[in-house]
Chain A
Amino acid sequence: MLAVHPSAPAIDGVDAVPTLDRAVDLALISVPSVRAEVAVADAAGAGAGAAIVLSSGFGEAGPEGKAAQDRLSQVARDAGMRLVGPNCMGVVSHLGDGRWLNGSYFWAVPSVPGGLSFVSQSGAFGGMFFAHLRSSGRGLSRFLSVGNAADVGSTDALEWLGDDPQTTAIGMFIEGIGDGRRFVDVARRITPHKPVVVLKAGKERAGARAAASHTGSMAGSHTAVRAAFRRAGILEATDTDEFFGLIDSVDSNLAPVKRVAVVTISGGPSVLAADAAERAGFELPSLADSTLDRLRSLVPDFAAVGNPIDLTPQCPPANFVEAIEAVYRDPAIEGVIAINCGLDFVEFGQGVARGVAATGKPTTGFVLDAPRVAAAMTGAGVLLSASPERAVVALQMGARR
């Protein structure tokens, strides 16, 4: 790694030179926009396969900026070098064996390897994506912020990720799709073997419309987008919550379920989860008599063993494991939503882990301020969400696939 800077001898412990004087594979360019063209040419001269231009002040800044951006692309194209950006937040990539490339402006980037990759037309939404990975403990494969997409666009990135063996699921935040039919053709080759989840923000501009026709007045700006996504097999999220729910669901490979149990020792939040589950079309069946008998022998007599199943904080912790496993083994239950707010009895998490191991039933959860419980559940591959309702959405998204 080498820094290039006009005056500094080193940057953050990395040796700096005033001009790029040796061959490199990749150039990260973060300079004022007026200097970027020279820097891109330097990178091309040094044999870089790709340059990531993080600098702003190009196509987003008006006609002069657009002209400067076109010159960047021309320099890159002439040299056979790919260009990411400009005006982007960069690239983060797991290189394998725990080695990471952080070619981005983000301070806090993931360090957990995973199969999920993400392409964003918004740098800020990229920050939301990383925050979600942090809070859910999920891993990352690749991240790419395309910025103004002077050369590498969302569709190019999607195509590459489709062929990337390290990537098992793809998320995209898209504001505009320039090359509509190519996007559909690329995506439909990927979706049969690798889920693609898209959050599409903003309205497409309407083409020529005749005011005289009903079709013109009824077809909204999103009508054709839905047609395109349906043909491409894309999972479309309608809002941020649904996007992260779908991302979690495809990343966890949750199977679709219909009849669920809400298991908890936290009353109120579990009722919220049960309400959300019913709204989402889940059934919350009663447990079998044999399961109820087993539960009553393990939990206080004031515990609610309907559904939600509130074992109560007064339940002897050692009994959580068997009680929760009994719920998992009930034949009426296909999936579980586990809710724990601030009661860090590790046995609760162990019960969920035992149930998952014994039955493989899809599980999502919401755990707040209970680190040992959270660790036990994530260790069993359980998907944790940021609220009781999101835990429901995450399980529901399995059913959409």
Chain B
Amino acid sequence: MTPLTETESKRRLGSTLPTPEEVLAASVAEAEAFCSAIGEPVVAKASGVAHKTEGNLVRLGVTAEAMAGVFEELAAAGDGSVLLARQVKADVELIVGGYRDETFGPVVTVGIGGVAAELFGDIVAILAPPEPGEVAEAVATLRGASLLAGVRGRPPLDIASLEVVVTAVSDLLLADPGVVEIDCNPVMVEDGQAVVVDALVVVV
């Protein structure tokens, strides 16, 4: 089984996938230009590496001033390029995934993400492809469903924006039998909109 890079994974998931503004920068100059275009600070990630968080290869809050040093370090740890993205301000983190169940075939999962995601194991599945209303119905059965209704005065999750992510995962599973598993993790809920910050597609 082969994990695809973040860039390739997002490409496979299609252009409808909601992602933050991002660029794969090949040079410090490109990276600095992105900073000035999108506003500081930004997120910088090593490219072409799995388990970026565990390898300390994701840097938050990178300013244009600090970019040269960060770029050099991450480029060396990865494939020479550095992935830059607007820093998303999440109210809640979700994990949207996809896999093939032996009995029921392709399924899409939605779970509460964050550092304690695996501790709580709060996850629901929807048979692919999802039918109208099923995403909302499934998400309502999460133990953490109330987090998505808007915490501390924040706007509630726009379920249609999550449906776009679920559909992208479902479409890829159904279109490509070589896809074993998909992780959109984290999917951040920012101002009520689901934004896929990182993605991993595993192929045979």
User: What are the 8 A-B residue pairs with the smallest beta carbon separation, nearest first?
Assistant: A215-B97, A224-B101, A227-B125, A180-B103, A180-B104, A210-B202, A207-B102, A213-B183
Partner pick for B50 among A208, A212, A217, CB 8 A cutoff: A212
Least distance between B92 CB and chain A CB atoms (Å)? 16
Q: Given A223-B109, A228-B103, 14 more contacts at CB 8 Å?
A: A205-B102, A208-B1, A209-B180, A212-B51, A213-B97, A213-B200, A215-B95, A215-B98, A215-B181, A219-B125, A220-B123, A224-B104, A227-B107, A227-B126
Taken together as a complex, chains A and B put the C-alpha atoms of A52 and B48 apart, in Å, by: 60
- Check if B202 sits within 8 Å of A213, measured CB to CB: yes
B176 at interface (Cβ–Cβ under 8 A)? no
Q: Write the B87-112 contact mask toward A (1 if CB under 8 angstroms, else 0).
A: 00000000101111111110101010
- Check if A210 sits within 8 Å of B134, measured CB to CB: no
Main secondary structure of the interface of B (DSSP, over half): strand
Taken together as a complex, chains A and B put the C-alpha atoms of A351 and B62 apart, in Å, by: 76
- Check if A226 sits within 8 Å of B202, measured CB to CB: no
- Check if A219 sits within 8 Å of B109, measured CB to CB: yes
Least distance between B93 CB and chain A CB atoms (Å)? 11
- Check if B134 sits within 8 Å of A214, measured CB to CB: no
- Check if B104 sits within 8 Å of A227, measured CB to CB: yes
Least distance between B71 CB and chain A CB atoms (Å)? 26
Taken together as a complex, chains A and B put the C-alpha atoms of A178 and B124 apart, in Å, by: 22
| Closest A residue to B131 using CB positions | A231
Taken together as a complex, chains A and B put the C-alpha atoms of A213 and B50 apart, in Å, by: 10
A225 at interface (Cβ–Cβ under 8 A)? yes
Find residues 192-237 in chain A having any chain B CB closer than 8 Å to their own CB: 204-210, 212-220, 223-228, 230-231
Contacts of B24 in A (CB 8 A): none
B182 at interface (Cβ–Cβ under 8 A)? yes
Interface size of B in residues (CB-CB distance below 8 Å) = 38
Looking at A204, A214, A230, A231, the one whose CB has the most chain B CB atoms below 10 A away is A214
| Closest A residue to B200 using CB positions | A213
Partner pick for A216 among B104, B105, B181, CB 8 A cutoff: B181
A181 at interface (Cβ–Cβ under 8 A)? yes
- Check if B131 sits within 8 Å of A224, measured CB to CB: no
B81 at interface (Cβ–Cβ under 8 A)? no
| Closest A residue to B100 using CB positions | A207
Taken together as a complex, chains A and B put the C-alpha atoms of A225 and B103 apart, in Å, by: 8
- Check if A184 sits within 8 Å of B104, measured CB to CB: yes
- Check if A218 sits within 8 Å of B109, measured CB to CB: yes
Looking at B103, B124, B127, B183, the one whose CB has the most chain A CB atoms below 10 A away is B103
Contacts of A213 in B (CB 8 A): 3, 97, 181-183, 185, 200, 202
Taken together as a complex, chains A and B put the C-alpha atoms of A53 and B95 apart, in Å, by: 48
- Check if B200 sits within 8 Å of A212, measured CB to CB: yes
- A212-B3, A212-B202 are known contacts. Are A180 and B181 too (CB-CB below 8 A)? no
* Complex A-B: 14 CB contacts under 8 Å: A208-B100, A208-B181, A209-B99, A213-B200, A215-B181, A219-B99, A219-B125, A223-B125, A224-B104, A227-B124, A227-B138, A228-B103, A230-B134, A231-B127
- Check if A224 sits within 8 Å of B123, measured CB to CB: no
B8 at interface (Cβ–Cβ under 8 A)? no
- Check if A224 sits within 8 Å of B95, measured CB to CB: no
Contacts of B99 in A (CB 8 A): 207, 209, 215-216, 219
B118 at interface (Cβ–Cβ under 8 A)? yes
Contacts of B183 in A (CB 8 A): 213-215
Contacts of A368 in B (CB 8 A): none
B38 at interface (Cβ–Cβ under 8 A)? no
B117 at interface (Cβ–Cβ under 8 A)? yes
Contacts of A209 in B (CB 8 A): 99, 180-181
| Closest A residue to B186 using CB positions | A214
- Check if B127 sits within 8 Å of A214, measured CB to CB: no
- A226-B124, A230-B137 are known contacts. Are A218 and B103 too (CB-CB below 8 A)? no
Contacts of B141 in A (CB 8 A): 230
B121 at interface (Cβ–Cβ under 8 A)? yes
A370 at interface (Cβ–Cβ under 8 A)? no
Partner pick for A180 among B95, B101, B124, B138, CB 8 A cutoff: B101
A177 at interface (Cβ–Cβ under 8 A)? yes
Contacts of A220 in B (CB 8 A): 121, 123
- Check if B202 sits within 8 Å of A224, measured CB to CB: no
